[in-house]
Structure 1
Amino acid sequence: MIKWCVDHKVIVVLFSILLIAGGVFSYTDLERQENPTITPPIALVQCIYPGASPEDIEKEVTKKIEDKIGTIEGIKTIESFSLDSVGIIKVTLEDMSDAEILRRWDKLRDKVDAVKTDLPEAALAPTIDTELTNSFGHVIGISSSDYTYQDLKRVAKNLEQKIKVLDGVAEVKIVGEISPSVEIQVDMAKLRQYHIAPNMILGAIQSRNVNIPGGNLNLEKSKIPVQITGEYKNIESLRNTIVGVSSDTGIPISIGDLSTVTQTEKEADSYALVGQDKAIIVGVRYSNGQNVLEAAKKVDETIKTFEKNALYKNMKLTILNNQPAYVSEAINLFVDNLLSAVVLVIIVVWLFMGMRSAIIVSVPIVIVTAVVLIYMKMTGIPLHQISIAALIISLSLLVANGIVANDNMYLYLQQGKERSEAMTKGVRDVSIPILTSTLTTIASFLPLAMMQGSAGKFASALPILVSVALIASYLTALTLVPALGDKILEVKSRNGGLLARLVHVLKIDRLGHKLMKLYDAMLAKALARPKTTIIIFLILLGMSMTLVPSLGIQVFPPIQRDQYVMSVRLPSGVNLNYTRDVSQRISQLIESDPSTESVAAQVGEGFIQYYDTFDAARQGTNVAEFIINGERAHAEDMAQNVRKAFPELTVTLKFLELNMPQDQPVQVRISGSDIKELKEIAESVEALVKPLNGVLRTEVNYGHDSYKLKVNVDETKANLSGISNYDVASTVRMAVNGLEITKLKQADVDQDPIPVNIRIGKEALKSVSDLDQIFLTSQVTGENVPLGQIAKITTEASFNQIVRRNEIRTITVGLYLKSGASSDAVLFDTQNALKQYKLPPNYQISYGGDNEFADETFGSMVLPAIMAVGLIYLVIALQFGSLLEPLIIMGTIPLSFIGIFSGLKIMNYPIGFMAMLGAISLMGVVVNNGIVLLDYIKLLQKNGFALDDAVKNGAKTRLRPIMIGMVTTVISLLPLMLSGGPLWQPLAAALNFGMIVSTVLTLIVIPCSYVWIEKMREKYKV
């Protein structure tokens, strides 16, 4: 193949051009993302049971659903939250493939469907959300204080119609809309006067507002459909509905005689704010498999045109989140890093090898990049920071093959061999060493694709693409490199290299001679005492391990962008309108800070899913969540300002993360059956952990108790009065919250029907004691009976929420940490603080938080690391035909950790997933230096050199190519280490410092280890 490529250079070049063209096409057509898409192993099941207390929700909803879904295999945890009127169940699966996750969600849907018949009749059908990472790329706020929510909704609908037809848009969602409703506020005094029970009004409306097909009238030759109409056309017809007849005057009594009927805005479940103004939030989700940047351009243009021409006066449009802009920024950053790395590598090769050699080595970079892009297009891997980083990491590795091949071709040319023979033989001679080097590097990367968990899936594209790049690099070294060498390689190009001129002008050659003499002296001393030298380096390794505790652990760093979320929780029991008023004042405070660009809030629930791993707050009338576009550095100060202004609030900052965030960094979970006992234990635990170093504040997830009114019906009195429990329940419900009894259809078929609600006039319920005066009309005697006559209303304490974990009631004491505090250290102190704490029988304490995700993530790396070591050993053993010599070479692997830990300490980076990923992938790279060195030493021995002479000459001869390989690796990763952001800088630092230290130490340790082992063999005749 090598000879054929040299003889058919034109075909090789033509094929290369085709690959480049395919790479360019693939690059322009690839889907763009900031991060890889991951199928989350988490689902939420939600069931609304209007008016039910947390205790009722637990008993009638969450426990029944838990019992059903708990039989599904592969579930890691089930957490349920029983709140006022709603139950939420969070299901988390064990590590498994995306396909297995989807199958489990199908079973989850089946189980939830099966439990529907066991739920209370008044409960709404449970909803299931398995797409928690399906985020909205564009989030737009339409706001004004001068218009109603209906006006805002009308404008938002108009924008929705214009955006959803654009290519690449999958969904447009409107959040925060408040629909119109018809309110019938009944005058209880008039009902009492006319002896009309509230249920009579309900029955009259429901029997009147019907539209029942009358069938078909069959005539001799045709059939005519018959329709019976009775639906309400407008509010006036509703007012005129006859309920009864006055017993005194005989005049019909209509609903309008008994109540006030008005069209108003429906009582909201949540409110949206932009700044202090009422708002509607519009979310735009992009289709998978599309170039999101191209689709986003059309959306941006549509928004600009709409803002200019379609907004009402004094109405404002605010871009709250523009994910495509962040995607573009992230990709551009990595492309810049890639181009910088390519330029730096070319410059280094040019300096050391001359311009012609630089061209020969650098052209394959373009071809390999094109091959990787084509592979990405064919396999559906998007262009994101992981895939581009894979190209950057591959760069230094794939250049090495070209350098070795070019160096050997040049050597044969220098010896005077004919050009074609020099190219063919030069590459053929190194084809096996290049293959071994490629395989060992692939062996260190490819097992990483087996990692499970969200972190493993996040980085899964990296080892695959690096392996593809290395295979392509090997093939180009056997094909394109000899073809180019035959065309342009000349001996004089090496002698006329820029580096040679610089060496001559700057007299660097003297420095080079001094460094070589220094290395000779160090190597001679080391070889004189090889065992001592090895022990010294083992001590250095042990010393570097002592740096690990001071580094800290951070699986993934927060995403660096000037945007953050502030979650606010008011005391339990406050109503939604009060929370909205407080939220407006908070927005005013945030807006007044110069660091704030914009602020929006969702009151009553968490903010719309605007990022894949964003964990929105759970709903509640005392909850508000703010998204703030402003300087991230001011976030802590902003939170402190809010806490000072509103000391009764619980304020929590959230920063976007790559991993699914935990509620608190450190969690103490107390499980048992009795809630009061649990709360007492939680208070004791909180008092013990609150003073610990590093703890900013604590939070108990049950919150404070609220109050509820309990209507205790006297069954005997009620029965004697001819009033049923249903009469009492429906009347009280109507008085307190109102009842939806029918819907008023609108003429426009695109508009939703308007709900009709009936309630007792608000003026009749100004205090709790007014409930006693609400009357019920006996269906038997027709008498009006005050509620207080047949029931006693009492005030009782009520739990704010009931949390269950794995079907057991559980209270969590959460610990929030001070800036810079380590969650591992605080967890360790927490466990020590609670070691002597005695729990009552049948109660347990467990711990959680960041450590759970860290243990899962780092645990998933153990098997790939073991496999990588095994594969590397196997490849080296096959090359050398020995079981012992591979161990000598693999001794360079632990040496790299001296550089890795030292480098992380110098750069002040924690130990994280990406740093460990770099450490594992470095294994295959560092052993290549040992292979090159030991292979040449053994070759010299075969040619008659004594052991010491072979080691010394081999080390000096391989010093130059080993150092050039190290320099190109470090230089290529330098842009990523300096400007790759907090995610990639630890990985690049681990690779660079590990590479530098292991390379230097390899040049000492490998010769010493080989000499020591050979002398031991000779001594013991092994």
Structure 2
Amino acid sequence: MKIAEFSVKNYQFTIIIFVMVLAIGLNSLFNMPRGEDPTFKSPQFGVVVVYPGTSPTDMEELVVDPLEEKLNELDNVKKIRTDIDDGLAVLRVEFTYDSDPDKKYDEVLREINNIRGSLPEGILSLEVQKFTPSDVNILQVALLSETAPYRDLEKQAEELQERLVKIKSLKNVDTWAYPQQQVRVSVDLGKMASYRIGLNKVLGAIQSENANIPGGSIEMGTKKFNVKTSGDYASIEEIRNTVIQSSTGQTIYLKDIADVNFDYEEESYVARLNGKRAVFVTASQKDGMNIYQVRDQVNPVLEEFQKTLPASIKYEKSFDQSESVSHRLSGFTRDFGIAIFLVLLTLLPLGFRASVVVMISIPLSLAIGLALLDFAGFSINQLSIVGLVVALGLLVDDSIVVVENIARFLRMGYNRKDAAIEATKQIGVAVLGCTATLIFAFLPLMFLPEAAGDFIRSLPMAVVTTVLASLFVSLTIVPFLSSLILKEEEHEEGNIFLRGLKRLIGGSYRRLLHRAIARPITTLLVALAIFVGSLALVPTVGFSLFPRSDKPQFLITVETPLGTSLYETDRIARDVEKVLASKKGLQNFATNVGRGNPRIYYNVIQKNEAANFAEIFVQLKDMPLKEIESFVDELRLQFNEYPNAKIQVKQFEQGPPIEAPIAIRIFGDNLDSLRSLAFQVENILKTTPGTIYVENPLTTLKTDLQVKINKDKAGIMGIPVSEVDRTIRMGIAGLPVGIYREDNGDEYQINVSLPRGKRQTMKAFDQMYVSANSGALVPLKQLADVQLKASPTFIRHYDKDRFVTVSAFVQTGYLTSNVTNEILAKLDNFRFPEGYHYGAAGELESREESFGGLGTIVIVTVFGILAILILEFKTFKSTLIVLSVIPLGIIGAVLMLLFTGNSFSFTATIGLIALVGIEIKNSILLVDYTNQLRANGMSLDDAIQEAGETRFVPIILTTLTAIGGLMPLVLENSPLYSPLALVIIGGLISSTLLTRIVTPVLYKLLPPKVEVQPVAA
């Protein structure tokens, strides 16, 4: 090829290109963004509606239905899911994945604002939330103290927050797990009754005294002055001295009928680290940042902050994602070293000088590949590095083929420059075709749809950019270096390793190939039988989407019955902590009672406040995946039978977020019928082997206290029902009546309530008095009875239809796909009433979404590869012979997964697709050379025999380098990317062994038409 000739003859220019490429690659390596996982967008939003005192059915009719109707009118809506509870509705709107999240957020906000005026007036709040996967916290620190008041912990947490906010690479710096301070006005209803002061008068007095009404401005001469009025409360003492009533010479102040002090709101979220009381400070990094650079900016701030802490408060970093990234990337650095060493071993038959040429091509190809990856906007993360490791075994293929051919020409008597030019010319088209087919094989992976596609895309992109770089290097730098480094006086048979390899070929392969060509039909039938047999094993191997994460981290969730108090849930969480504290291998554990742990994993969303929920984030010391799974299984066994609580130990899952690996949605209108069906489906899941943590949200109904007001009696006494409701609210939760601002800018809510401890009890009802129009205070128990009542069933919508989801996780050792198929078979035989049906969600739905758009891409890829092969060979027969290698690689891929106990996961499927390109690459070399020999006048049988033997060496070497490059990924034993490497290795072994026999045999049965070149006179 002319490009090779140019590079050999213009060595100064080639050297300049060499240096520039290396410099650009190193610049990309040091400056590219780094992170643990790839980032991907999420065009989905939450609409949260708070409408106190509204039943789920009323909320559905008055609020949810109009909102869903309005949101459904937007373009590209994929689905709308809604959870409706007492006084609360949460709508989740998801748009098609190709939608712009920012534009869709503006559209949702606009529609909500448009409809707000037509919704009921009593709605307390209506807000739109934006979900961003990149908002995962990279840092979680704890401030610990068993004795310091929450006010001191809050002050220190906010101080650290202020320092971290100033770091430009951080965003979403938040503080967690302390109750807000407030000014509590604890009224004495007995004293109010004696003074005949109603609740309205107290509330009105506080609100009027705390009003800040600007007085305007006046002019005096040439100057203008603003007039300040009495303004807000300036101190707690001023609040105490608020005049409530003044008559007949007697003034009643607020302090005469109430205690006014700083206090905390009722605790709704309690946190601990390693069993010690804590508040948390978290932060996430901005998009496109290098986590190492962020760490270098954050650590000095944290170290300086620790020096300012009082002795009563301790600091501890509970989670630092940069440590995990550093550990993972250092592991990949080690893998790279191992891979390069193994690749070097496989190059021994080429000789030392040829090996040096090939080894130089590695950093050059990686440098160009990294620069292209950086230019395309990708980061260095675990998947892009896996792509680079995969590419390491492939990028030397082109260089090996070119160098081996140049060395062969040198042995034929050519000088170094002529050998470099002529050998590259001979093999150049085949190398170009090989690389093009390999890139086309990776195209489906580069254009996978949905979040799964975004999650995995950096892997195939890293392979494609590096392989493209290797093509450029092999056709320019490699011929140039070969013309300088390789020796002209080579042994006719090559070095000792090459001679030994050729003897092995001559002693076994030649005879085997001769026999196969003599019996072509028998050979093909045997190969077909092996292929069919391997396909029969596919159901045994099974399918899965994304595997569990191999990170030494997991979550323990504690769920107590609905209506359980926060303190009872906390008691159970402490029991879990005791068990954890007795285990070896723990790094730390962060306990969150009343709320989920702040978000620390890309597909796990923090659970909102719930008194009956607790979550413990557990981090282990570094250990193999099998030990992590054994640790988790042991804990599951211990917590399985815990009384009156559901304790679940869950490992993190890879891939896009799903509610559970197995999830069954049941649709229908009648809530009672849905509940009945949910119990029956729950039983099906529980009786299916392999399921664990079967979840039916309708198992129990919440019991509430209902205050039943005697409206007739209240009417006779002149007491409005709204006044009764407000008194109850004041007595239980308190009534906010204003804001108290201190001079330093701190704000505190003023809350009027009954005297109380940390939490309110049933005694509160005995202390409540309601104001009558006459001014008298009537005991609440004279107007109302307090009764226990089951609350209405909560309601869920999926695209405006009522539904309920029954879900389950999968036990260790079981395949999700097999368990799901068994459940679906049972459900297909289950008779649902008319108007009711089920739909499968969970991993099955995610798999269909992830691979749903793959069909068109695969068709384009197949035709693209066919077009390349036809352009190169110009005959359909040659194309068919090349493609015959594909089923032979599938044999090894299936067997390798079966023997290693892996399934056809998402990444294993990626390995299978990549395998197709690698196999075709090797097959092209064989068919192309056979055609060349026949074109030069050699007979069909002799050309097949000669091509098989001559191309055996470069094919064996490229296969061994690919396997050597992939072996570290296998040794990592990662559930995410080890199956990918195993599929390629297994496929390469079977295709390399079988194709060397099957392809020549098929070539003999379907000999392509070749024009014989005229012999020069």
Please state which band the TM-score falls in when normalised by the shorter chain: over 0.9
In the alignment, what sits opposite 1:774?
Answer: 768
The one-letter code sitting in structure 2 at the alignment partner of 1:679 is R
Q: Give the deviation of 1:607 after TM superposition.
A: 1.2
Q: Give the deviation of 1:851 after TM superposition.
A: 1.2
Secondary structure of the 1:126 match is: strand
Cα separation, partners in 2 of 1:140 and 1:61, compared to 1, 3 Å = farther
Counterpart among 592, 602, 610 of residue 620 in structure 1: 610
Greater shift in the superposed pair: 332-341 or 44-53: 44-53
Residue 126 of structure 2 corresponds to residue 89 of structure 1? no
Q: Matched residue pairs, number?
A: 1000
In the alignment, what sits opposite 1:112?
Answer: 112
TM-score of the superposed pair, with normalisation by structure 2: 0.93
In the alignment, what sits opposite 2:430?
Answer: 433
The one-letter code sitting in structure 1 at the alignment partner of 2:295 is A
Question: CA–CA distance in 1 between the matches of 2:579 and 2:886?
Answer: 55
CA contact (8 A) 2:370 2:462 kept: no
Cα separation, partners in 2 of 1:363 and 1:597, compared to 1, 3 Å = closer
CA contact (8 A) 2:639 2:648 kept: no
CA contact (8 A) 1:702 1:799 kept: no
Q: Give the deviation of 1:518 after TM superposition.
A: 2.5
CA contact (8 A) 2:452 2:656 kept: no
Question: CA–CA distance in 1 between the matches of 2:939 and 2:678?
Answer: 74
Q: Give the deviation of 1:255 after TM superposition.
A: 1.5
CA contact (8 A) 2:267 2:758 kept: no
Q: How does 1:386-405 map to 2 (within 5 A)?
A: 386-405=383-402
Question: Once the two structures are superposed, what CA deviation does each residue of 1:326-365 show, in whole Å capped at 9, x if it has no partner?
Answer: 111222222222232223223322x111111112222122
Counterpart among 75, 78, 81 of residue 79 in structure 1: 81
CA contact (8 A) 1:615 1:660 kept: no
Q: How does 1:406-555 map to 2 (within 5 A)?
A: 406-492=403-489, 500=496, 513=503, 515-555=505-545
Question: CA–CA distance in 2 between the matches of 1:766 and 1:551?
Answer: 58
In the alignment, what sits opposite 1:10?
Answer: 12
In the alignment, what sits opposite 1:336?
Answer: 334
Secondary structure of the 1:616 match is: coil
Q: Give the deviation of 1:150 after TM superposition.
A: 1.1
TM-score of the superposed pair, with normalisation by structure 1: 0.93
Question: CA–CA distance in 1 between the matches of 2:135 and 2:759?
Answer: 44
In the alignment, what sits opposite 1:722?
Answer: 718
CA contact (8 A) 1:5 1:12 kept: yes
Question: CA–CA distance in 2 between the matches of 1:617 and 1:764?
Answer: 24
Q: Give the deviation of 1:111 after TM superposition.
A: 2.4
CA contact (8 A) 1:149 1:279 kept: no
CA contact (8 A) 1:702 1:803 kept: no
Cα separation, partners in 2 of 1:101 and 1:171, compared to 1, 3 Å = closer
Q: Give the deviation of 1:998 after TM superposition.
A: 0.8
In the alignment, what sits opposite 2:997?
Answer: 1004
Counterpart among 543, 548, 551 of residue 561 in structure 1: 551
Cα separation, partners in 2 of 1:588 and 1:49, compared to 1, 3 Å = farther
CA contact (8 A) 1:773 1:788 kept: no
Q: Give the deviation of 1:472 after TM superposition.
A: 2.2
Question: CA–CA distance in 1 between the matches of 2:489 and 2:570?
Answer: 79
Q: Give the deviation of 1:933 after TM superposition.
A: 1.5
Residue 71 of structure 2 corresponds to residue 69 of structure 1? yes
Counterpart among 611, 620, 642 of residue 601 in structure 2: 611
Question: CA–CA distance in 2 between the matches of 1:811 and 1:1015?
Answer: 61
Secondary structure of the 1:809 match is: strand
The one-letter code sitting in structure 1 at the alignment partner of 2:253 is S
CA contact (8 A) 2:410 2:489 kept: no
Question: CA–CA distance in 1 between the matches of 2:522 and 2:759?
Answer: 91
In the alignment, what sits opposite 1:692?
Answer: 688
CA contact (8 A) 1:149 1:278 kept: no
Cα separation, partners in 2 of 1:828 and 1:657, compared to 1, 3 Å = closer
CA contact (8 A) 1:569 1:622 kept: yes
The one-letter code sitting in structure 2 at the alignment partner of 1:124 is S
CA contact (8 A) 2:7 2:477 kept: yes
Cα separation, partners in 2 of 1:495 and 1:953, compared to 1, 3 Å = closer
Greater shift in the superposed pair: 54-63 or 972-981: 54-63
Question: CA–CA distance in 1 between the matches of 2:272 and 2:645?
Answer: 19
Cα separation, partners in 2 of 1:986 and 1:1015, compared to 1, 3 Å = closer
Question: CA–CA distance in 2 between the matches of 1:194 and 1:754?
Answer: 29
Question: CA–CA distance in 2 between the matches of 1:5 and 1:775?
Answer: 96
Counterpart among 365, 373, 378 of residue 375 in structure 2: 378
CA contact (8 A) 2:145 2:278 kept: yes
Q: How does 1:672-821 map to 2 (within 5 A)?
A: 672-749=668-745, 751=746, 753-762=747-756, 771=765, 774-779=768-773, 781-799=774-792, 801-821=794-814
Q: Give the deviation of 1:992 after TM superposition.
A: 1.1
Cα separation, partners in 2 of 1:198 and 1:797, compared to 1, 3 Å = same
Q: Give the deviation of 1:689 after TM superposition.
A: 3.5
Secondary structure of the 2:125 match is: coil
Q: Give the deviation of 1:987 after TM superposition.
A: 0.8
In the alignment, what sits opposite 2:100?
Answer: 100
Q: Give the deviation of 1:722 after TM superposition.
A: 2.1
The one-letter code sitting in structure 2 at the alignment partner of 1:79 is R
The one-letter code sitting in structure 2 at the alignment partner of 1:164 is V
Secondary structure of the 2:214 match is: strand
Q: Give the deviation of 1:262 after TM superposition.
A: 2.0
The one-letter code sitting in structure 1 at the alignment partner of 2:215 is G
The one-letter code sitting in structure 2 at the alignment partner of 1:280 is V
Question: CA–CA distance in 2 between the matches of 1:703 and 1:154?
Answer: 42
CA contact (8 A) 1:893 1:923 kept: yes
Q: Percent identity?
A: 27
In the alignment, what sits opposite 2:24?
Answer: 22
Q: How does 1:182-221 map to 2 (within 5 A)?
A: 182-221=183-222
Greater shift in the superposed pair: 356-365 or 702-711: 702-711
Question: CA–CA distance in 2 between the matches of 1:707 and 1:947?
Answer: 86
Q: Give the deviation of 1:311 after TM superposition.
A: 2.6
Q: Give the deviation of 1:789 after TM superposition.
A: 4.3
CA contact (8 A) 1:704 1:800 kept: no
Counterpart among 355, 360, 363 of residue 363 in structure 1: 360
Question: Once the two structures are superposed, what CA deviation does each residue of 1:277-327 show, in whole Å capped at 9, x if it has no partner?
Answer: 3321111212222221122133234324433x2232242322221111111
Question: Once the two structures are superposed, what CA deviation does each residue of 1:406-459 show, in whole Å capped at 9, x if it has no partner?
Answer: 233333333333443332222223222221111111111134211102121112
The one-letter code sitting in structure 2 at the alignment partner of 1:629 is Q
In the alignment, what sits opposite 2:625?
Answer: none
The one-letter code sitting in structure 2 at the alignment partner of 1:34 is E
Q: Give the deviation of 1:696 after TM superposition.
A: 3.0
Counterpart among 30, 33, 36 of residue 34 in structure 1: 36
Secondary structure of the 1:554 match is: coil
In the alignment, what sits opposite 2:624?
Answer: none
Question: Once the two structures are superposed, what CA deviation does each residue of 1:583-627 show, in whole Å capped at 9, x if it has no partner?
Answer: 234323322333333211222221111121123334311111110
Question: CA–CA distance in 1 between the matches of 2:174 and 2:410?
Answer: 68
Question: Once the two structures are superposed, what CA deviation does each residue of 1:96-144 show, in whole Å capped at 9, x if it has no partner?
Answer: 32x5344333322222333433254351231412214411101111121
Q: Give the deviation of 1:274 after TM superposition.
A: 1.9
Secondary structure of the 2:124 match is: coil
Which sections of structure 2, spanning at least 5 residues, go unmatched? Answer: 622-627, 1011-1017
Q: Give the deviation of 1:202 after TM superposition.
A: 0.6
Cα separation, partners in 2 of 1:64 and 1:586, compared to 1, 3 Å = farther
CA contact (8 A) 2:588 2:620 kept: yes
Question: CA–CA distance in 1 between the matches of 2:58 and 2:414?
Answer: 91
Counterpart among 848, 857, 866 of residue 855 in structure 1: 848
Residue 938 of structure 2 corresponds to residue 945 of structure 1? yes
Cα separation, partners in 2 of 1:670 and 1:411, compared to 1, 3 Å = closer
In the alignment, what sits opposite 1:1020?
Answer: none
Question: CA–CA distance in 1 between the matches of 2:586 and 2:635?
Answer: 10
Residue 867 of structure 2 corresponds to residue 874 of structure 1? yes
Question: CA–CA distance in 2 between the matches of 1:155 and 1:302?
Answer: 14
Cα separation, partners in 2 of 1:426 and 1:698, compared to 1, 3 Å = closer
Counterpart among 314, 321, 324 of residue 322 in structure 2: 324
Question: Once the two structures are superposed, what CA deviation does each residue of 1:530-563 show, in whole Å capped at 9, x if it has no partner?
Answer: 1222122111111111222222323222221221
Question: CA–CA distance in 2 between the matches of 1:55 and 1:760?
Answer: 32
CA contact (8 A) 1:448 1:865 kept: no
Residue 652 of structure 2 corresponds to residue 656 of structure 1? yes
Secondary structure of the 1:728 match is: helix
